[in-house]
Amino acid sequence: MIVVMDNKASKQEVQQVIERLTDLGFQIHLSEGVERTIIGAIGDKAILNDIALEAMNGVEKVVPILQPYKLVSREFKTDDSVVKVGDLEFGGTRIHVMAGPCAVESREQILETAEQVRNAGATVLRGGAFKPRTSPYAFQGLEEEGLKMLAEARERTGLKIVTEVVDPRNVELVCEYADILQIGARNMQNFLLLKEVSSADKPVVLKRGPSATIEEWLMAAEYIMSGGNYNVILCERGIRTFETYLRNTLDLSAVPVAKHLSHLPVIVDPSHATGKWKLIKPMAMAAVAAGADGLMIEVHPNPAQALCDGPQSLTPANFSSLMNDIIKIAAVFDRTI
């Protein structure tokens, strides 16, 4: 539930409400706005009937949150959340593009790609170092060596780093190198992993599971937020449908729906959604038109030689051309890249 305090409520009155709720076992999330203070309280709603919160001094009203996800919901926070990654802001007017190879393959590959995507206007470098794949015989990633290469690319280019963490035991290690943790689609409901990143001091990109409903996706975000990490960026990356022409089906409606139901920033990954490089540009443009706050795009210096996801990877030249068109679409909506 949300306790909306009167705009004249004193600090002491706010404190009294917090103490009362804490004593009753509620978890408190305080939001001190310019106009008024709002106290989010998560806990057993059955207790609510027995406490006359609205009778307490300074309380204007008590609003129950009807959705199963609480901290994630628009009811809990009406303004858009801005997730800060250093000096970058996700969820503001600027659209951020995360780009890079599916996997870090070598020092040369990642450094070259980093420079090229930075020159084209990306602000975040992506690249997987831990790559458990559909087949156990496929390339599995360079692990910590790959993380070190990403860190070197950041030093050289100034790009921020996003990389996937697949194992709760590796969260600490990945945090040493990454600016943003990525939870992959297949791990969206790996609740132990979600709990582990919920106490990490890094923003999290949470990909939607291939078969997850929007509600399940938001519940996964709730896991991360309820553990204290409020810096969650949702990522739509295509869902599994009866269609077989594409790798997945990009659910673009998920962008406005997630933004309606939640205050969190939403980005789109057209690479994994389509699996085909020729479709990346049109789908990226559609994503921006649908209101996405960012994009995640796979770029490889030589897609034909890529160890992972070559068919959906853009060449640096094609990525640059995509960025030129994205800038135009973004401008229509008063957004910048």
Residues at the contact surface with Mn ion, assessed by CB under 5 A: 102, 309
- The least distance separating ligand PEP from the CB of residue 36, rounded to whole angstroms, comes to 39
CA 131 to chain centroid: 19
Could you give the CA distance from residue 53 to residue 244 in angstroms, rounded to a whole number? 54
Compare residues 92 and 132 and give the one whose CB is closer to ligand PEP.
132
User: Which listed range, 109-117, 184-192, 213-221, 322-330, lies at the site for ligand PEP (CB under 6 A)?
Assistant: 184-192
Nearer to Mn ion, 179 or 309 (CB): 309
187-246 binders of ligand PEP (CB under 6 A): 207, 237
Q: Is 186 exposed, middle or buried (0-12, 13-18, 19+ CB in 10 A)?
A: middle
Q: Least distance from C-beta 100 to ligand PEP, angstroms?
A: 10
Helix (H/G/I), strand (E/B), else coil: 91 = coil
Closest separation in Å from C-beta 273 to Mn ion: 11
Of 40 and 100, the one with the shorter C-beta distance to ligand PEP is 100
Closer Cβ to Mn ion, 229 or 248, answer by number: 248
Rounded to the nearest whole angstrom, what is the least distance from the CB of residue 122 to Mn ion in the complex? 16
Which one of Mn ion, ligand PEP, none is in contact with 207 (Cβ closer than 5 to 8 A by kind)? Answer: ligand PEP
* Cα distance between residue 158 and residue 323, in whole Å: 19
Q: How far is the CB of 298 from Mn ion (least distance, A)?
A: 6
3-class secondary-structure state, position 42: strand
Query: What's 245's DSSP letter?
Result: S
Nearest to 294 by CA among 249, 334, 336: 336
Element (H, E) at 111: helix 107-120
Among 128, 141, 294, 303, indicate the residue that binds ligand PEP (CB under 6 A).
Answer: 128
Contact pick of 159, 185, 221, 284 for ligand PEP (by CB under 6 A) = 185
Question: Shortest gap between Cβ of 210 and ligand PEP (angstroms)?
Answer: 7
Q: Got the DSSP string for 62-75?
A: EE---SS--TTBTT
Cα gap 264→81, rounded to integer Å: 5
Instruction: Give the type of residue at 184.
Output: G
Kindly indicate which of the ranges 40-48, 84-92, 152-160, 183-191 contains the residues binding ligand PEP, using the contact rule CB under 6 A: 183-191
3-state class of 189 per DSSP? coil
User: Which of positions 68-107 make contact with ligand PEP (CB under 6 A)?
Assistant: 102
Residues in region 278-307 near ligand PEP by CB under 6 A: none
CB of 128 to ligand PEP, least distance (A): 5
**Length of the chain, in residues:** 337
27-32 and 37-42 as β-strands: parallel, antiparallel, unpaired? antiparallel
Binding residues for ligand PEP, rule: CB under 6 A, are: 102, 128, 184-186, 207, 237, 269, 272
